[in-house]
A and B are shown apart, each in its own frame.
Chain A
């Protein structure tokens, strides 16, 4: 990343070769079509180039940093572009209902993310709802906390546990620690 920060073309190309697949797949998971995903990939790598000097190898692995920047970018993009349900729509329903699944109804997106949807449906209602709202609709945790009339700490815990359980089949150890 030091070389990327210095603007070395080879380093930028190397970074792309190593992480483009992950960045692209994650973008596809969030966005409704390939063109949008490709735009997002370009923006993410520009963002990585611009923020390369902030990467601290003592705090995170390079792949963690790349995916963190990608996720933040995608969430920002969703917040900017996606038409979000009106605040009132959520605040009127204090209790989380099983029908409250505001995920985009794009068929292709559903097909692509079939595994994810399956895993989401298996989660307890609260965990599923906070993941959908915070992760896929781009609401901040405070907004979700307000919408669900639940303490911020509860929302954070539910979100963290939900994300861990989504990957439970691979990381049972981590789940047990929490």
Chain B
């Protein structure tokens, strides 16, 4: 006997018991699952067998139901339907009643007042938010200007008043350079005045004794030494002159005079 035959036999056995209402719910569920998993031919066979059982009245009493039973049954179903409807009605009407009542009365004065108040308050809140944001932006900008101004004044005190001529000067071309291969901090800002042919180099966080050559490459490719600076402290400022005609399009680089390390 193969498993398949055994399962098939079991399925038919369960089909007979199920048709007679003799299976417990858990077994009915298992049978239903097996039924759906079974091949279509077996499903058809089960349906046929169960139908045969259902239709077989050979062992049933021969009496027929009295005619008045029909009315009783239909009345009984109608009453049950009414009871069900009454039982479910309160649930169904909870939302419907509230909304119907609201529709009949219309919005009350207090509701209108509060709705208006809410809209006005919302508008006020939006305006205040916009004003607050604008004020914050202005304050930030002013603080930044003040900070820059103070920094510039302090730097000018340290590196000389000439530094101020190059800060914010629209004729100046400014280049920022950092060490090419070093973990050391520090940078150079070189400003070239295209109109008057002079320049200024500002060094920040330089190493003491460090000697740096500032070079310019003209459009024709010629390399010119613009300035040579030696740091006597971390901050250094140095002005220099240059032929005005060479400034336009000039590329600025720097190189450490002792080690040859580049600033780019």
Residues of A within 8 A of B (CB): 7, 9, 12-13, 16-17, 20-22, 24-26, 28-29, 34, 38, 41-42, 45-46, 49-50, 59-61, 63-64, 66-68, 70-72, 74-75, 112-113, 115-116, 119, 134-135, 140-142, 156-157, 159-160, 163-164, 166-167, 169-171, 174, 177-178
Contacts and interface: CB of A to CB of B under 8 A. Distances in A.
Contacts of A119: 59
A135 B22 contact: yes
A7 B22 contact: no
Nearest to A73: B21
B231 to A, nearest CB: 93
Given A64-B50, A71-B21, A21 B64 contact: yes
Nearest to B13: A160
5 contacts: A26-B60, A28-B63, A119-B59, A160-B13, A170-B52
Interface stretch (B75-83, B158-166, B201-209): B75-83
Name B's interface SS: helix
B13 A157 contact: yes
Bin the interface of chain B by size: 35 or more
A63 B55 contact: yes
Contacts of B53: 64, 67, 163, 167
B77 A60 contact: no
Contacts of A41: 65, 69, 73
Given A9-B74, A61-B54, 16 more contacts: A9-B78, A13-B74, A22-B54, A38-B65, A46-B80, A59-B36, A64-B19, A68-B21, A115-B59, A142-B24, A160-B17, A163-B16, A164-B16, A169-B58, A174-B52, A178-B12
